[in-house]
Amino acid sequence: RALVSLEGDLKGCYYPLSGSSSYAPKLGGMLPAEEAELSGAGMLFSCPDASASLSSGMGRHWPDARGVFTNDSRSVAVWVNEG
């Protein structure tokens, strides 16, 4: 909530990962076009696949409660619950 309430140059949107059902305004997560855009800009993270990460529980409940906040000009990105 704190990020989506920012104003001025930091005003932007939260994009939950595809398949996420934990953010009511965007149930199901970001659209494929949004995912492609954020991935192409290097602003997106992916599901952990390393054995050590998975055994530590990093992928638990994937992708719920995970996403990316970006400001409208895409000059700022915040990974939410990446790790």
Q: What is the pLDDT of residues 31-82, one digit of tens each?
A: 999 999 999 999 988 766 656 555 566 556 667 788 999 999 999 999 998 7
pTM of the entire structure?
0.81
Q: How far apart are CA 15 and CA 34, in angstroms?
A: 8
Q: How far is CA 78 from the centre of its chain?
A: 8
Question: Residues 28, 21: contact at Cβ < 8 Å?
Answer: yes
Beta bridge partners of 67: 16, 80
Site of tokens 């059902």? 21
